A and B are shown apart, each in its own frame.
Chain A
């Protein structure tokens, strides 16, 4: 009987995911607020139902009662987080919040299936991050000074990156982590945000040539330190985000073309200079001829996705633990293996949906600084998603980047929360303005009567 349930649950999960994704895109096309709220409500329930189905399967397969408690904790967390967020911020974007909850749920389901202890640790980090980052929209909305602290952002960012460069630990050939007592964290995850704030505050102030040169030089310094740490994936994310910010700030296509040229040159140099770049390109071109060594990671990722197929093997039915570093870089492959490429496809669409919403927020913004922050953070997010998913599916060479909200790792989680909450803050500015305008309008209307 358990087998039949597991088999059926596979399809139920796909249906729930498809429904959730449908609501996400339907939301964009409705203007009526109550209808939009309806879609958000469906989404919220879909998250809880997905958790219920997934954890019931895991429980039936493992018969570990801790799973039930863990499920209840998550269901309560998601419900409370979503409700309280609306209490604190009446006009917050529910769609983005729902997506955060969907992503962390999918990540936690897969982690629980891989290692319950890791999943619980991750859950604690998620809860803490959620609480800490609640304050961010308030700061973004109320503290006007944030647009002018460019040297603070620069100082903090460069200091953190230099600290990694000189004292960091080496993992997978790259220097990424800094140890603070018992906690190891990845500063680059946080510098991501200060970097965008820095570039936006500099270029939001002025786009005269001198200012562009200074800003570009400091931005280049960030990227060069990352390259020196051999954290090339993150360096690429910073680079693309900066080029886009510069383009939006100046409106000149020449910067995009120059950026493309520099990227090509840097690519050639990186290929010549770094052996691990050559290894990854070789593994991308042909993972099969050196399957036991260079092609190992990508081949096992493709085995997982391929064997899972469109509907997946079913939770607890596959072998995601056989993919190297599955809980971090390759979480997408694990999800695709057991929940199916259908669910994986929904994830891609949802990530794109988040990006589209961030860009919409960017167009709402009147002040150049806010606009550039939204664009910069949106690009950092979507480039990271693209590098991860493109890498594990062999669409592009792998870069060893995590998938926001889904991959295991505290720094990644906290920084993803922070990134989304900054965007929520920008969204609030706009909605609060609109509301104030409407109230004013209503008052005038009333007084006319």
Chain B
């Protein structure tokens, strides 16, 4: 009896242990699946990196392997969209290679330099310039005989013609001119003055970086400049006002007698102390009436205004690969009323770069959508074949189409009735906003002009948006707007030919 019982126990525990074994084997199977899934993710990521992400990684100037390429490949040229070589490598009969920039400082911030570290496109497109896509047979022959193969050329979206026009229009003054096509995002020109000669960067280095040198030739003012916006900031203030008063902004009224005095006794004057008289919102914008906008600034809800500014690329990254300075907007509720008033008219603590302002202008021109700014049109092999063509891409919507339409209406009014007289007799329909931004305690002013012209008939066969800043240029309307006009004129005359 006891023997039988024992036997039964044994078989019971046998079943139990087998169950236990099956259960733990199932658990092992589950965790094995989990590990396999994690490894599939790892492999997928690894392949994504190798085939997609690495393209932008290996071009980094810190990658020492690119020097290996230059032992086998002659650096390609940087060409403008109209076929001019902005940078090329010249090989002497004895084999010495020289990187040459035939136009001196004309393209300096765009191409950058390549003999003292690399900047600009020389840095961004480094990998392309050192890759060769000539046909394989020729490449193999070159490899065998130890002959260098010619690298690919990069073709910029910038044209020589417009770059030259902007360069000439700015003259000897310090400042920047940058233009783009709002419909495609192609950067059409980018000039910053004073510049430097990339051919002699090594010889000039000490003087360029000397302590007493305040000219900042190496600084690309178009993207790295940080200026007070002055009246061009009224674009943002007015947009906020219309958001806060969606139904009655048209009944806005302010009587301007040349200056605005708040309850604390602070005084804000209109440019040249001009009294604009009774102004509605449109007129105040067109005439750039500081009194009206100081009042709006004082009453604005600081939180939602900050949100609006940040959605319009303040305090954030810009979609451009060149080095840039982030625009800064810091107004908060704890600031004094006077700072709020100043911020409303674009003084205060706000700082912007011309590139940022150009992107916002382009979005206004393009129904609120910013196209991703493009500097490179395509990559071409030395044999003239297109290796890669870059396609326009949307960056994203910065504002509603209806907001963009309202701002366009206002910016048109600047030309017909306001400070934009420089464009009044133009044979095309221009939309602009000028600004005169005070700095050094109001003793000096930077001249600003943001403009765009949509495609309309044969006078303006394509769109163009331009941002101009002239340092210490006094008034935007009289100094910066004519520069923008000259660039726009040149663009259309060059398009028509």
Bound together, the chains give a CA A317 to CA B71 distance in angstroms of: 12
Pair A319/B68 contact, Cβ less than 8 Å: yes
Bound together, the chains give a CA A220 to CA B138 distance in angstroms of: 64
Bound together, the chains give a CA A211 to CA B405 distance in angstroms of: 74
Does B215 interact with chain A (Cβ within 8 Å)?
no
Pair A395/B28 contact, Cβ less than 8 Å: no
Does B46 interact with chain A (Cβ within 8 Å)?
yes
A78 to B: closest C-beta gap in Å? 27
B59 to A: closest C-beta gap in Å? 9
A354 to B: closest C-beta gap in Å? 12
Does B495 interact with chain A (Cβ within 8 Å)?
no
Bound together, the chains give a CA A319 to CA B21 distance in angstroms of: 51
Pair A303/B35 contact, Cβ less than 8 Å: no
Q: Which residue of A lies closest to B68 (CB)?
A: A319
Counting contact residues on chain A (CB < 8 A from B), the size range is: 35 or more
Pair A248/B63 contact, Cβ less than 8 Å: no
Bound together, the chains give a CA A443 to CA B46 distance in angstroms of: 54
Pair B46/A395 contact, Cβ less than 8 Å: yes
Pair B38/A345 contact, Cβ less than 8 Å: no
- Which residues of the other chain, A, contact B144 by a CB distance below 8 angstroms? 1, 3-4
Q: Which residue of B lies closest to A358 (CB)?
A: B32
B256 to A: closest C-beta gap in Å? 47
Contact partner of A359 (CB less than 8 A), chosen from B20, B23, B32, B57, is B32
Q: Mark B29-45, 1 if CB is under 8 A from A, else 0.
A: 10110011011011101
Bound together, the chains give a CA A288 to CA B62 distance in angstroms of: 10
Does A366 interact with chain B (Cβ within 8 Å)?
yes
Bound together, the chains give a CA A302 to CA B57 distance in angstroms of: 7
Q: Which residue of B lies closest to A296 (CB)?
A: B62
Does A344 interact with chain B (Cβ within 8 Å)?
yes
Bound together, the chains give a CA A393 to CA B41 distance in angstroms of: 12
- Which residues of the other chain, A, contact B63 by a CB distance below 8 angstroms? 303, 307
Bound together, the chains give a CA A274 to CA B58 distance in angstroms of: 31
Q: Which residue of B lies closest to A340 (CB)?
A: B50
Does B349 interact with chain A (Cβ within 8 Å)?
no
Pair B143/A3 contact, Cβ less than 8 Å: yes
Does B54 interact with chain A (Cβ within 8 Å)?
yes
Bound together, the chains give a CA A345 to CA B42 distance in angstroms of: 10
Query: Which of B50, B64, B143 has most chain A Cβ within 10 Å?
Result: B50
Does B202 interact with chain A (Cβ within 8 Å)?
no
Does A352 interact with chain B (Cβ within 8 Å)?
yes
Bound together, the chains give a CA A133 to CA B129 distance in angstroms of: 53
- Which residues of the other chain, B, contact A1 by a CB distance below 8 angstroms? 144
Stretch touching chain B among A60-68, A168-176, A189-197, A382-390: A382-390
Pair A386/B54 contact, Cβ less than 8 Å: no
Known: A306-B58, A307-B58, A375-B28. A366 touches B50 (CB 8 A): no
Known: A319-B68, A356-B32, A359-B32. A306 touches B27 (CB 8 A): no
Bound together, the chains give a CA A319 to CA B36 distance in angstroms of: 32
Does B205 interact with chain A (Cβ within 8 Å)?
no
Bound together, the chains give a CA A87 to CA B38 distance in angstroms of: 38
Q: Which residue of A lies closest to B63 (CB)?
A: A303
Q: Which residue of B lies closest to A303 (CB)?
A: B63
Pair A303/B143 contact, Cβ less than 8 Å: no
Bound together, the chains give a CA A299 to CA B59 distance in angstroms of: 12
Query: Which of B27, B29, B55 has most chain A Cβ within 10 Å?
Result: B27
Known: A248-B24, A352-B36, A393-B45. A310 touches B64 (CB 8 A): no
B70 to A: closest C-beta gap in Å? 13
Bound together, the chains give a CA A4 to CA B58 distance in angstroms of: 25
Q: Which residue of B lies closest to A385 (CB)?
A: B39
Does A41 interact with chain B (Cβ within 8 Å)?
no
Main secondary structure of the interface of B (DSSP, over half): helix
Within A370-396, which residues are at the interface with B (CB < 8 Å)? Answer: 371, 375, 379, 382, 386, 389-390, 393-395
Pair A303/B60 contact, Cβ less than 8 Å: yes
Contact partner of A344 (CB less than 8 A), chosen from B25, B46, B51, B53, is B46
Does B16 interact with chain A (Cβ within 8 Å)?
no
A301 to B: closest C-beta gap in Å? 10
Counting contact residues on chain B (CB < 8 A from A), the size range is: 35 or more
Pair B58/A310 contact, Cβ less than 8 Å: no
A314 to B: closest C-beta gap in Å? 11
Contact partner of A393 (CB less than 8 A), chosen from B25, B36, B49, is B49
Pair B65/A303 contact, Cβ less than 8 Å: yes
Within A270-326, which residues are at the interface with B (CB < 8 Å)? Answer: 288, 291-292, 299, 302-307, 309-310, 313, 317-319, 322
Contact partner of B51 (CB less than 8 A), chosen from A7, A291, A307, A310, is A310
Contact partner of A302 (CB less than 8 A), chosen from B20, B24, B43, B54, is B54
Pair B62/A291 contact, Cβ less than 8 Å: yes
Contact partner of A244 (CB less than 8 A), chosen from B31, B47, B55, B65, is B31
- Which residues of the other chain, A, contact B57 by a CB distance below 8 angstroms? 302-303, 306
Pair A366/B21 contact, Cβ less than 8 Å: yes
- Which residues of the other chain, A, contact B39 by a CB distance below 8 angstroms? 348, 352, 386
Bound together, the chains give a CA A322 to CA B45 distance in angstroms of: 24
Bound together, the chains give a CA A7 to CA B136 distance in angstroms of: 13
A386 to B: closest C-beta gap in Å? 7
A43 to B: closest C-beta gap in Å? 21
Q: Mark A339-355, 1 if CB is under 8 A from B, else 0.
A: 00100110011001001
A186 to B: closest C-beta gap in Å? 25
B136 to A: closest C-beta gap in Å? 12
Contact partner of A305 (CB less than 8 A), chosen from B31, B54, B68, is B54
Bound together, the chains give a CA A55 to CA B143 distance in angstroms of: 22
Q: Mark A94-116, 1 if CB is under 8 A from B, else 0.
A: 00000000000000000000000
Q: Mark B368-396, 1 if CB is under 8 A from A, else 0.
A: 00000000000000000000000000000
Pair B27/A248 contact, Cβ less than 8 Å: yes
Pair B50/A341 contact, Cβ less than 8 Å: yes
- Which residues of the other chain, A, contact B23 by a CB distance below 8 angstroms? 251
Known: A3-B144, A382-B35. A348 touches B42 (CB 8 A): yes
In the A-B complex, the 8 residue pairs with the closest CB atoms: A306-B54, A303-B63, A306-B58, A341-B50, A307-B65, A306-B57, A363-B25, A359-B32
Q: A307-B54, A345-B43, A352-B39 are in contact. List 15 more A-B contacts (CB 8 A).
A: A1-B144, A248-B28, A304-B65, A306-B49, A319-B64, A341-B47, A348-B39, A355-B35, A362-B28, A363-B25, A363-B28, A371-B28, A382-B35, A386-B38, A395-B42
B residues neighboring A (CB under 8 Å): 20-21, 23-25, 27-29, 31-32, 35-36, 38-39, 41-43, 45-47, 49-51, 53-55, 57-58, 60, 62-65, 68, 143-144
Q: What are 13 A-B pairs at a CB distance below 8 A? A: A4-B144, A248-B27, A249-B24, A288-B60, A291-B60, A299-B62, A305-B49, A306-B49, A306-B50, A306-B58, A307-B63, A363-B28, A386-B39
